[in-house]
A and B are shown apart, each in its own frame.
Chain A
Amino acid sequence: MKKILSLLVLFALILGPCRPGAATVNLQTLIDKSEPGAKIELENTTYEGNITIDKPLHLIGQEKTVIKGDATGNVVSIRAEGVTVENMAIENSSMDRNSSEEYAAVKVYTNGNTLRDLAIKDSFHGVYLSKAHENTIDHVKVIGSGKGEIAAQGNGLHIYYSNQNVLTNNEIEGTRDGMFFDYADGNISTNNKISHTRYGLHYMYSNRNEFKNNIFTFNTGGAAIMHSNELKLENNQFVFNYGHRSFGLLLLSANDNQIENNTFYMNQRGLYIDQATRNLIRGNQIYQNQIGIELWASSNEQVFTENTIHDNTLPAVTLGGQGHNSWSKDGIGNNWGSSFPLLDLDQNGIGDHSAVYQSSLYELIEEQELTYLFLKSPAITVYEKMHQLLNNSKTMFEDDHPLVQSTNHHTYLWAALSLALGLLVFYKIWSLRSERIQQNKGK
C-alpha cells in the first residue's frame, strides 16, 4: 500500500509541473460565481475550454493570458449586454463547416459590449457579431490561416444583421474576408489594417456605413461593396491589391456612395465599377495602377471630380458600351497628370479644352482575360498608338474641365537622367570611333 501511495505521489509530482501555465481554476466556474458588474482579473496563464458570459462582467487579462477553446464551438460566447473582454489571446474555435452554426473565437449575441486588445488565431471567424448592436471592437488582431482554400476559413470580423457598431484600430491578416458586413447598417470603421485576405472589406446588403482611414494591402480585392448604398469611404489606402484581376475598390450594384480622398496605388485596377449608379468619386489619388478606373456600361450617373489620376497604364476604360457618367462637377474635372497635353492660358487651373481619352484595348479586355498579363508591358503604348493611327480607338471618357497638373520634379529628374545616359553612350561610341580612326592613320 505504501508503495502504491508513494507511486501516486511521485506521479502527482511528475505530472503537475508537466502542464506549465495551465489554469488551476475553471474560468466558466469563476464567471458563474461572479456577481453582475464584477471585474475579473485573469492570471498570466492559459485557461482551457469554451466559456459563455451571460451577465455584465469585465474580464481583463495580462500579457500572457490565453483562453484556449476545445475546438468544438465558439471559444467566448457573449450573451449579456455590457460585457468587456480585454487584453488577452483567444484561440482554437471549431473550424467545422458542416455545422448549422459558423463558429468564432468571440461570438457576440448582445448589444453594448466592448472587445479590446485581443489577439485571435486558429479560429474560423475572428469576431462574429450576430444581431448585436452598438458594440465596440478596438485593437483586435486576427491572424487567419493564410493562403489555401478560401472557404476553409471565415472572416476576421463578421458583422451579421448588426448595426451601429464601432470597429477601430484592428489588424487582420490572412483570413477569407477582412471585415464582412452582411445586412449591417450604420457601422463605423476607422484605422483598421487589413492584408493578405480575399476581400479586405466586404459589404453585402449593408447601408449607411462609414469607413475611414483604413489601409488595405496585398488582398485579392481591397474592398468589395455589393448591393450596399449610401456608404462613406474616406481617407482609406488601397495599395498592392495586385493579383490576377484584382482591384482596389469594387462597386457592384452599389448606389449613392461617397468615395472621397482615398488612395489607390499599385493595384491591378484602382476602381472597378459595375452595375452601380449615382456614386460620387471625389478627391481620390489614383496612381500607378494598371487600370485606374474600369467602368462597365451597366454603370450610370457616377460623378468623378477633383481626383488625381496619373501614371496608370490605362487611366480609365469604359467596357461593354458607353454609360452616362460625368467626369466633372460644377466645372471641376480631374487632374490627369501628364496623360494629356493641356493648355491653361487663362491660368485658372482648368484646362482650356477637354481631355479626351481614346483606347483600342477595351475590346481585348472585354473578350480575352489574358490581356491583363500585358498591362505592364511597354508594348501597350505602341499597341495603342498604332491603333490610334488606324482609327480603331474608341473614346473612353471626356473630361470637359480637366485640372492642370502642377510641375512634377520627378519627371524632370528622369528626363535629365535619360538625357545624360544617352549623351554618355553617344560620347563613348564617338570617342572610341575617333580613337580607332587615329590608330588607323598612325599605321
Chain B
Amino acid sequence: MKMNYIWKEWKESIRSKGLWLSLAIMIIVSLLMLSRSSGHGVEQGYYILIMNLFESLLYFIPILCLFLGAFSVFQEKEQKTLVMLLTKQESTFTFLFKKSIALQTVLIVPVFIWFFLYLVPLKFFFQVQLTDYGFLLATIIGLMLVFTQLGVLIGSYSRSRMQIAGIAVIIWFYFFFLHDFALLSVLPNITHDNVQLFSVAYFLNPIQTVRMFLESGLGIYSFGNMSRLLESFMWLTPSLFFLFNLLFWLILSFAGAVLFHRKEGFE
C-alpha cells in the first residue's frame, strides 16, 4: 500500500516542476562550489568544498522542502483525492503517515543519487574521504527530513496556497533568524546554572544542530579543553543532539499535521 503512495507521489512529482527545480538548484550550487573549491589543494580543498556546499545548501534546502512538502499535501486537497481516501479506507493519521513516507522517499532518493554521482568529479579534484562525505549526506538528508515534514504540517493545516506561502516563509524566517536572535538576546544572562536549558533551546534549531554535527563529524571542530560552561553546554555529543533534534521535529510536525489537519481548501 505504501508502495502505491510512493509510486503516485513519484508520478505527480515528475510531472510538476517543483522537484526538478529543487534538484536543478542543488546541482547548480554543488557544481558552483566545486569550481570555487578546486583551487585549494586536494586535501583541504575537499573540506572547504564540504563546508561551503553545506553553508550554501542551508539557504535552499529548508525553504524548498517546506514548499514541496506543503504543496504536495495541499494538492491532495485540491484534487479531492484526500476526501476520497479519507472517506474510503484511510484515517487522517494513516493518510499523513503514508503521504509523509512517500514524499520523503521521492524527495530524498533523487538527491541521494545526485550526491552519489557528484562523487565522480570530486574524485578528480580531491582526496575523497567517504566517511566525511557520509556526514555531509547525513546532514543534508536530516535537514530535508525535518523541513519536508514541517512542510507536511503546513500543507495539512492550510486552506489556500497563499496561506502556505505565508506560513512557510514565517517558519523559514524563524529558524534562520528569529530563533538565534532570541537566544543572542538572552545570552548575557546565561550562567553555569541555566546553561543546560540554554543548550536545549540552542539545539532545538535544526540549522545549528546539523552544523555542529557536521563540523564535529568532519573533525574540524574540536571540543578539547572546554571550559566548565562549555562542558555543561555540550551535555550530549553532537550526534545525539542531531538525533534528538530529528526525532523531536519529525514527531512534533507529524503530530501537528494530524491534530491541526483541515480537510478542505477554499473554493
Contacts and interface: CB of A to CB of B under 8 A. Distances in A.
B201 to A, nearest CB: 12
Interface in B159-195: 161, 165, 176-181, 183-184, 187-188, 190, 195
Interface stretch (A81-89, A322-330, A373-381): A373-381
Interface stretch (A70-78, A105-113, A398-406, A420-428): A420-428
A196 B47 CA distance: 14
State which size class the interface on B falls in.
35 or more
A266 B130 CA distance: 22
Interface in A236-291: 239-240, 242-244, 265-266
A368 B225 CA distance: 17
Interface string B27-57: 0110010001000100110011001000100
- Interface hub of B25, B180, B211 (most chain A Cβ within 10 A): B180
B207 to A, nearest CB: 8
State which size class the interface on A falls in.
35 or more
A150 interface: yes
B184 A374 contact: yes
B196 to A, nearest CB: 12
A243 B223 contact: yes
Contacts of A432: 161
A134 B180 CA distance: 55
- Interface hub of A150, A266, A373, A425 (most chain B Cβ within 10 A): A373
A218 B36 CA distance: 20
A199 B183 CA distance: 32
Interface in B194-252: 195, 198, 202, 207-208, 211, 215, 219-227, 229-230, 233
A242 B221 contact: yes
A367 B188 contact: yes
A370 B187 contact: yes
B208 A377 contact: yes
Contacts of B177: 378-379, 382
Given A242-B220, A266-B48, A369 B188 contact: no
Given A374-B184, A379-B177, A379-B180, A242 B161 contact: no
A371 B165 CA distance: 33
B67 interface: yes
B36 A243 contact: no
A240 to B, nearest CB: 6
A421 B63 CA distance: 11
A218 B183 contact: no
A371 B187 contact: yes
Given A220-B224, A429-B165, A377 B44 contact: no
Given A379-B178, A413-B32, A240 B230 contact: no
Contacts, number: 106
A417 interface: yes
B48 A429 contact: no
B14 interface: no
A50 B17 CA distance: 71
Contact of B44 (A239, A244, A363, A378): A239
B219 A218 contact: yes
A382 B181 contact: yes
Given A220-B222, A242-B215, A242-B221, A369 B230 contact: yes
B259 interface: no
B102 to A, nearest CB: 21
Interface in A190-227: 196, 215, 217-218, 220
Given A374-B184, A379-B178, A150 B225 contact: yes
Given A244-B230, A370-B229, A429-B161, A383 B17 contact: no
A231 B220 CA distance: 28
Nearest to B21: A424
A105 to B, nearest CB: 24
Contacts of B165: 429
Contacts of A428: 17-18, 21
Contacts of B208: 373, 377
A150 B226 CA distance: 13
Interface in A336-383: 363-364, 367-371, 373-374, 376-380, 382-383
A425 B67 contact: yes
A377 B188 CA distance: 17
Nearest to A428: B17
Contacts of A424: 17, 21
A368 B176 CA distance: 22
Contact of B222 (A244, A368, A370, A376): A244
B77 to A, nearest CB: 12
A410 interface: yes
Contacts of A244: 221-223, 226, 230
Closest 7 interchain pairs by CB? A379-B180, A243-B222, A377-B180, A379-B181, A242-B220, A379-B177, A217-B44
Interface of A: 147, 150, 196, 215, 217-218, 220, 239-240, 242-244, 265-266, 363-364, 367-371, 373-374, 376-380, 382-383, 386, 410, 413, 417, 421, 424-425, 428-429, 432-433, 436, 440
Given A147-B222, A370-B233, A379-B179, 17 more contacts: A220-B224, A220-B225, A239-B40, A240-B44, A242-B220, A266-B51, A371-B187, A376-B55, A379-B176, A379-B184, A380-B180, A382-B177, A383-B184, A417-B29, A421-B25, A432-B161, A440-B267
Interface of B: 17-18, 21, 25, 28-29, 32, 36, 40, 43-44, 47-48, 51, 55, 60, 67, 78, 161, 165, 176-181, 183-184, 187-188, 190, 195, 198, 202, 207-208, 211, 215, 219-227, 229-230, 233, 267
21 contacts: A147-B222, A150-B225, A218-B47, A239-B44, A239-B48, A240-B220, A244-B221, A266-B48, A364-B184, A364-B188, A370-B190, A370-B230, A371-B187, A374-B180, A378-B180, A379-B180, A379-B184, A380-B184, A383-B181, A421-B60, A433-B161
